[in-house]
């Protein structure tokens, strides 16, 4: 038995790129992409990707080099998810919401050789390149144009996207990875410009997250997938490759617009879509929203969806699956797997259960919650807080050029997510906060999210963020930053409001009202900055005493 070793017929590297090759045969004449007046079949998409890959290779892009793209969810963005790794290069999809300064840090950081840039984002990119550190060679640019956005450009382009496709060789032999551990994609997570965190995934991890996500979400053959989730967010949670595996139709769109989304759902009989809870919120709050003709599977994650939003969305016909994942896993590692016996509950109770992150997906080996001090698994009591840790084939190789952060994140055999959660008695995970946002007051853990939830219940509160303020006596106390609507809200009033709804130690001891809370380029409230402000206020007890 011991003599039987891996052999060349079974140890060929796992890679999701084979899905496209197969789609060209299995789904040859089925529609792969619809975008405005453009429609492709899978045999055309395969051909276009081969041509594009051959042109990229002919530009001298070598195995392991980085090729970037700054584009919305257009057909070009979709095709690049195949064509770039088909040359052996690493795809780096850049968040189009970043500012020029940030991009001017990222591109030199990954030594990007070639950047595909959508017409609309050309000014942003030109500005970013102008900000490159002196002596840094700028990457070559390829302009992506399409029938929707027209603009004239004064930049002299060597290449345009469609030219590269046109002049490429459809019989190109795509470059298979030498090893399934070869890097395939690079995604920067939002962070400060001082230390960009570039998450690198291998062909193997992308293969695993892709098949796992299809399986866990029960995606059948020939879905109609609407691209509401940006592909630059963790590669659209792996679904660019997933759609090739199941012969789906990709409905592309430039920009999230509620009326357009409803129009596309009806026009193309959309079956599947993804998005953050805020997308679900916009869809269900749309004044003209009518119940859907056919149920639409909606995968949501990135933040916990409030029960009220789930309730409203489901009443319109969205069948919501709540997932939990990270850029470090390129997609979901847990879902709130629905139990048939829950169907009997009231709609509100069902929605409340669905806010839980749930149970690991079929392909992920382990998701656990461990005590941050002892490293032991926490009790399954729904109360014991700990850090969520993950182990599985979809975990990243690491952060690019950052050994230190990589080994802080991956240690003791686990990926440390930085999320704090509990495990309920039925084994279901519920995320409570970000680890760094937990406030430790008098030895008690205060989850900032739980305090914020109560603050949001106050009609006057528009935005709320709770962080730790140093305290000589308690160690830390909760400090609330708010933006409010209408009349002036009194600090005392807010404290009183919280006292009626929260244990004493969780009530904010400080309330600061701002015009608007500071946010980063992806729209997230900058709690780090607020923490700095709270720190600068000094110790509360120290001041008071």
385-444: which residues touch a second copy (CB under 8 A)? Answer: 390-398, 400, 403, 406, 410, 413-415, 426-428
Q: Of 53-61, 336-344, 500-508, 527-535, which part binds a second copy (CB under 8 A)?
A: 336-344
Residue found under tokens 């995606």: 219
119-131 burial, b if ≥16 CB within 10 A, otherwise e? bbbbebbbebbee
The rounded distance, in Å, linking the Cα atoms of 118 and 122 is 6
Q: Give the footprint of a second copy on residues 449-488 (CB under 8 A).
A: none
- Output 181 or 456, the one with its CB closest to a second copy: 181
Q: Of 21-29, 67-75, 113-121, 155-163, which part binds a second copy (CB under 8 A)?
A: 21-29
Structural tokens at position 496:
């009183």
DSSP string, 31-52: EEEEETTEEEEHHHHHHHHHHH
- Output 7 or 346, the one with its CB closest to a second copy: 7
CB of 494 to a second copy, least distance (A): 40
Binder among 131, 215, 440, 462 for a second copy (CB under 8 A) = 215
Which residues are 433's β-sheet partners?
420
Structural tokens at position 435:
């680890």
Count CB atoms within 10 A of the CB of residue 477. Answer: 24
The rounded distance, in Å, linking the Cα atoms of 253 and 116 is 18
Q: Give the footprint of a second copy on residues 503-522 (CB under 8 A).
A: none
Q: Of 8-16, 75-83, 97-105, 465-473, which part binds a second copy (CB under 8 A)?
A: 8-16
Q: Give the footprint of a second copy on residues 193-212 (CB under 8 A).
A: 200, 202, 205, 208, 211-212
The rounded distance, in Å, linking the Cα atoms of 326 and 150 is 35
Q: How far is CA 44 from the centre of its chain?
A: 29
Q: Does the protein bind a second copy through residue 246 (CB under 8 A)?
A: yes
- Output 64 or 542, the one with its CB closest to a second copy: 64
CB of 43 to a second copy, least distance (A): 10
Binder among 245, 265, 451, 502 for a second copy (CB under 8 A) = 245
- Output 299 or 466, the one with its CB closest to a second copy: 299
Count CB atoms within 10 A of the CB of residue 519. Answer: 12
**Total residues at the site for a second copy (CB under 8 A)?**
72
Binder among 135, 287, 340, 486 for a second copy (CB under 8 A) = 340
- Output 81 or 360, the one with its CB closest to a second copy: 360
Q: Give the footprint of a second copy on residues 269-288 (CB under 8 A).
A: none
Q: Does the protein bind a second copy through residue 220 (CB under 8 A)?
A: yes
Q: Does the protein bind a second copy through residue 64 (CB under 8 A)?
A: yes
Please name the helix (run of DSSP H) or strand (run of DSSP E) that holds residue 429, with its range, or none. strand 429-434
Q: Give the footprint of a second copy on residues 341-370 (CB under 8 A).
A: 341, 358-360, 362-363, 365-366
The rounded distance, in Å, linking the Cα atoms of 376 and 328 is 23
- Output 60 or 427, the one with its CB closest to a second copy: 427
Q: Are strands 366-370 and 429-434 parallel, antiparallel or unpaired?
A: unpaired
CB of 204 to a second copy, least distance (A): 8
The rounded distance, in Å, linking the Cα atoms of 67 and 57 is 11
Backbone angles phi, psi at 286, to 5 degrees: -65, 125
Rounded alpha-carbon distances, angstroms, from residue 522 to 97, 99, 525 = 6, 10, 9
DSSP string, 279-345: HHHHHHH-TT----SS-EEEEE-SSPPPHHHHHHHHHHTEEEEEEEEEGGGTEEEEE----GGGGGS
Q: Of 17-25, 133-141, 162-170, 437-445, which part binds a second copy (CB under 8 A)?
A: 17-25
Backbone angles phi, psi at 143, to 5 degrees: -90, 130
Binder among 7, 150, 154, 346 for a second copy (CB under 8 A) = 7
- Output 181 or 268, the one with its CB closest to a second copy: 181
**Among the listed residues 386, 381, 393, the one whose alpha carbon sits nearest the alpha carbon of residue 417:** 386
Q: Of 23-31, 121-129, 231-239, 347-355, which part binds a second copy (CB under 8 A)?
A: 23-31
Q: Of 5-13, 130-138, 302-310, 533-541, which part binds a second copy (CB under 8 A)?
A: 5-13
CB of 304 to a second copy, least distance (A): 19
- Output 1 or 37, the one with its CB closest to a second copy: 1
- Output 27 or 35, the one with its CB closest to a second copy: 27
- Output 27 or 121, the one with its CB closest to a second copy: 27
Count CB atoms within 10 A of the CB of residue 413. Answer: 8
CB of 170 to a second copy, least distance (A): 15
Q: Of 22-30, 78-86, 97-105, 493-501, which part binds a second copy (CB under 8 A)?
A: 22-30
In 192-257, alpha helices (H): 203-216, 234-237, 239-246
Q: Are strands 510-513 and 475-484 parallel, antiparallel or unpaired?
A: parallel
Q: Does the protein bind a second copy through residue 136 (CB under 8 A)?
A: no
Binder among 83, 90, 276, 489 for a second copy (CB under 8 A) = 90
């Amino acid at each position: 038995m011991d003599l039987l070793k891996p052999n060349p017929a079974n140890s060929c590297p796992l890679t999701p790129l084979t899905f496209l090759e197969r789609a060209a045969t299995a789904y040859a004449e089925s529609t792969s992409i619809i975008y405005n007046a453009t429609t492709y079949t899978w045999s055309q998409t395969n051909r276009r990707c081969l041509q594009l890959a051959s042109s990229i290779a002919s530009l001298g892009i070598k195995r392991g080099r980085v090729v970037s793209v700054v584009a919305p969810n257009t057909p070009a963005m979709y095709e690049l998810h195949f064509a770039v790794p088909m040359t052996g290069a690493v795809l780096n999809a850049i968040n189009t919401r970043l500012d020029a300064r940030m991009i001017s840090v990222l591109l030199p950081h990954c030594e990007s050789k070639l950047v595909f840039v959508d017409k609309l984002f050309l000014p942003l990119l030109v500005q970013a390149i102008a900000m490159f550190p002196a002596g840094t060679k700028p990457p070559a640019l390829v302009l992506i144009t399409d029938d929707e956005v027209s603009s004239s450009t004064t930049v002299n382009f060597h290449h345009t996207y469609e030219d590269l496709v046109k002049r490429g060789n459809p019989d190109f032999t795509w470059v298979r990875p030498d090893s399934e551990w070869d890097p395939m994609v690079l995604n920067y997570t939002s962070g400060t410009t001082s230390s960009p965190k570039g998450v690198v995934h291998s062909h193997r991890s992308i293969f695993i997250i892709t098949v796992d996500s299809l399986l866990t979400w029960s995606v059948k053959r020939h879905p109609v997938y609407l691209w509401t989730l940006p592909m630059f967010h963790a590669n659209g949670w792996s679904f660019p490759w997933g759609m090739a595996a199941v012969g789906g139709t990709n409905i592309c769109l430039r920009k999230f617009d509620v009326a357009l989304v409803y129009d596309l759902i009806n026009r193309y009989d959309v079956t599947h879509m993804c998005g953050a809870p805020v997308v679900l919120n916009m869809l269900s709050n749309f004044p003209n929203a009518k119940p859907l003709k056919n149920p639409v599977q909606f995968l949501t994650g990135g933040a916990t969806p409030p029960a009220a939003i789930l309730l409203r969305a489901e009443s319109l016909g969205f069948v919501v699956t709540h997932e939990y994942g990270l850029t470090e896993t390129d997609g979901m590692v847990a879902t709130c797997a629905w139990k048939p016996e829950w169907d009997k509950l009231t709609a509100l109770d069902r929605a409340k259960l669905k806010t839980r992150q749930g149970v690991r997906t079929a392909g992920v080996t382990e998701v656990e919650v461990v005590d941050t001090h002892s490293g032991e698994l926490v009790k399954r009591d729904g109360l014991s807080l700990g850090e969520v840790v993950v182990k599985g084939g979809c975990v990243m190789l690491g952060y690019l050029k950052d050994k230190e952060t990589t080994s802080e994140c991956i240690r003791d055999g686990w990926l440390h997510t930085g999320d704090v959660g509990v495990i309920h008695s039925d084994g279901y995970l519920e995320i409570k906060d970000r680890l760094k946002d937990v406030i430790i007051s008098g030895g008690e853990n205060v989850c900032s999210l739980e305090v914020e939830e109560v603050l949001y219940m106050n009609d006057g509160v528009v935005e709320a963020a709770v962080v730790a303020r140093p305290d000589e006596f308690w160690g830390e106390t909760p400090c609330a930053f708010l933006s409010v609507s209408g009349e002036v809200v009194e600090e005392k009033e807010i404290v009183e409001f919280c006292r009626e709804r929260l244990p004493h130690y969780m009530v904010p001891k400080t309330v600061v009202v701002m015009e608007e809370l500071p946010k980063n380029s992806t729209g997230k409230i900058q709690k780090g900055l607020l923490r700095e402000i709270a720190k600068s206020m000094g110790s509360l007890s120290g001041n008071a005493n």
